[in-house]
Chain A
């Protein structure tokens, strides 16, 4: 039980800390009181709950942070860059404490370490220097209450507890007394439900209350009084501010048992306007695992739907067919709705880069301005979770290698402050994310030399700039030393490419010498369900993602193209290399098959895949492979077919790479 509570705390604290970073950074643009309050509340919550769930070291540290920040809230401390630096650093320390997983010797050591002690000293120095030095807050303090609203409002409250309420320990008298503390009350009893004395069960709750409350408190405060009342038993309505009728009644004692008929059933005037059901919130939060479960069930549903479809075709019954069609339509609607739930604005990823850029710019002594565009673009949660690291990597590269120092920029006639532009937009079923800088651009010559040195291209080969720039994504193309020497990008660019490939996306680079460069990622909007082309090879069915399929052609006599030893296919006067899946997957095909070629396009290269036959296309629910099978080149997952068989999903990008057709060579051949 407590473990769940602790997990809830860790999750909450994580969210608060993530929010804190953005809020603190936003202080740079101005000290908005609402923002300051938000930061303060966050600190207060972490401090309070930390102590409750075994994070007392975190709580103790946060106490100092909170005390210092309270000065900002009260206007005694001005926000300046050094303070923001200190706040960010303190926030990072809070993350460290969370990461340590609660109290223990390690947390104690961290709290006692010189680094943390110095930070606490710096925070305490702020508190001590404040004009009102004694006002250091005690460790446990009152929850910061929202400012009372200045205007007085009038509420009509109708409360009719369930008949069992008294037996179940409810004390309406205490509730009425508590309500009385909020403001001026006029209380009427509704005694209509009370039977004759000989039929009366004194333990039954039969009274109804109608209260007119004039208060400065909010509706939430009233709801707080009735925290244990069922919604059905309670109606709270705001009425026009009117004088409370019969003020004298306010002081009447309230009877806990209905037997006392203190007030006649003077049916009160209509309780104002019809109570409105207030929209509490237009969003809900659920754990992502529930969404995953839902997605799994939906996947099964899509598969079952496909099976139903297959079965229905055997019967030729128009009534059955129309039901099946209706089902198919509903399933697609459900699929789209579920997928849209999993969509998050990419802003969630972008937000964390403000900090990365700020820190890195400070570290490298460069002046950098980060511009983000299209943060509202929505992307599947799984994609969001996985593109964070590659993006950080590319942004680091942009700032480290792409942008020049302020002086260099001035000498080159550019503004001293470099710009990194991070943008996202949707294009069909794809999300385009681009990272653009106005720095010096890629050094094409250095890349060419490096590629020749590594044997990736021939020394005398002629390549376009674009082809050369693409070489930065080759595995092992760059090492840190070389990259910084040639100021090209590339530290781990192949790792970035691997991640993007795994997501079913593509990556492209465009660079202009001296003017900057732009890397564009094309990512699928979702990765859970794709449109796939089912193909047959021997007894086995494979699915090729339709997004990478360009066309299908017959291999036929065209196979003769192999005579020269090169697997090339002529399609409308263009030579396209092809691969035989039966060789790559060691899965003998049907010798009687007509054999067809599915032409796919990856990174601008067209490659044909030879299969026995093409079965059709349809929605494919991707199931991940077991850890034993994952990572096999050429396979991206599995799916269950309508007839219950398992089909493997072809990962076109890794398949082609594993087929040992060096891209540069392919390009040359096709061009030849």
Chain B
């Protein structure tokens, strides 16, 4: 069965990059522009994996992760933060909120594919 990936990011180039990288690999990619949008898409699309930015308008990534974990659709699935700073406190915050892991920007397509495969098997 085709696995669905949710990309939550306010920057279109990043959403595009996730889409254009993972679609050819056989994944379905759904995009959301902020945390609130992400929660809506999470309920509607039931993704198998989420990539989320941290700094976003309307609802930031940490809040999004916290709320997603409280949802049936968001519990138990991998949620990966896309971080620009490798600041440990941000990672800790995200992990405490329930993130599975993080990916430092910039990352290349190969890395994104590898992480996706690692988390989805």
A and B are partners in one complex rather than unrelated chains: yes
Whether B100 pairs with A52 at a CB distance below 8 angstroms is: no
B10 to chain A, nearest CB (A): 7
Whether A227 pairs with B101 at a CB distance below 8 angstroms is: yes
A42 to chain B, nearest CB (A): 15
Quick check: is B30 within 8 A (CB to CB) of the other chain? no
Whether B76 pairs with A228 at a CB distance below 8 angstroms is: no
Question: A-B pairs with CB below 8 Å: how many?
Answer: 72
Quick check: is A178 within 8 A (CB to CB) of the other chain? yes
What separation, in Å, do the CA atoms of A58 and B98 have in the docked complex? 39
Please provide the chain A residues from 144 to 174 with a CB less than 8 Å away from any CB of chain B in the complex.
Answer: 164, 166-171, 174
Quick check: is A300 within 8 A (CB to CB) of the other chain? no
B77 nearest CB neighbor, chain A only: A169
Among A1, A4, A48, A167, contact of B75 (Cβ-Cβ < 8 Å): A167
B60 to chain A, nearest CB (A): 12
What separation, in Å, do the CA atoms of A164 and B99 have in the docked complex? 10
Whether A5 pairs with B121 at a CB distance below 8 angstroms is: no
Whether A230 pairs with B95 at a CB distance below 8 angstroms is: yes
Among B10, B77, B118, contact of A178 (Cβ-Cβ < 8 Å): B118
B103 to chain A, nearest CB (A): 9
Whether B98 pairs with A168 at a CB distance below 8 angstroms is: yes
Whether B106 pairs with A170 at a CB distance below 8 angstroms is: no
- Contact A174-B118, Cβ < 8 Å, known A1-B55, A52-B17: yes
What separation, in Å, do the CA atoms of A174 and B119 have in the docked complex? 7
Whether A1 pairs with B76 at a CB distance below 8 angstroms is: no
Quick check: is A462 within 8 A (CB to CB) of the other chain? no
B84 to chain A, nearest CB (A): 5
Quick check: is A605 within 8 A (CB to CB) of the other chain? no
Interface size class of A (residues with CB under 8 A): 20 to 34
Quick check: is A2 within 8 A (CB to CB) of the other chain? yes
B65 nearest CB neighbor, chain A only: A168
Interface size class of B (residues with CB under 8 A): 20 to 34
Contacts of A168 in B (CB 8 A): 69, 78-79, 95, 98-100
Contacts of A244 in B (CB 8 A): none
Contacts of A54 in B (CB 8 A): 13
Quick check: is B53 within 8 A (CB to CB) of the other chain? yes
Whether A5 pairs with B105 at a CB distance below 8 angstroms is: yes
Quick check: is B9 within 8 A (CB to CB) of the other chain? yes
Among B55, B101, B106, contact of A52 (Cβ-Cβ < 8 Å): B106
Quick check: is A9 within 8 A (CB to CB) of the other chain? yes
Contacts of B75 in A (CB 8 A): 167, 203
What separation, in Å, do the CA atoms of A255 and B46 have in the docked complex? 24
Given contacts A168-B100, A174-B118, 18 further A-B contacts (CB under 8 A): A8-B106, A49-B108, A52-B106, A53-B106, A167-B75, A168-B78, A168-B79, A168-B99, A169-B77, A171-B78, A171-B119, A174-B119, A174-B121, A178-B118, A227-B115, A228-B100, A228-B101, A228-B102
Which residues of chain A have a CB within 8 Å of any CB of chain B? 1-2, 4-5, 8-9, 48-49, 52-54, 143, 164, 166-171, 174, 177-178, 203, 225, 227-228, 230
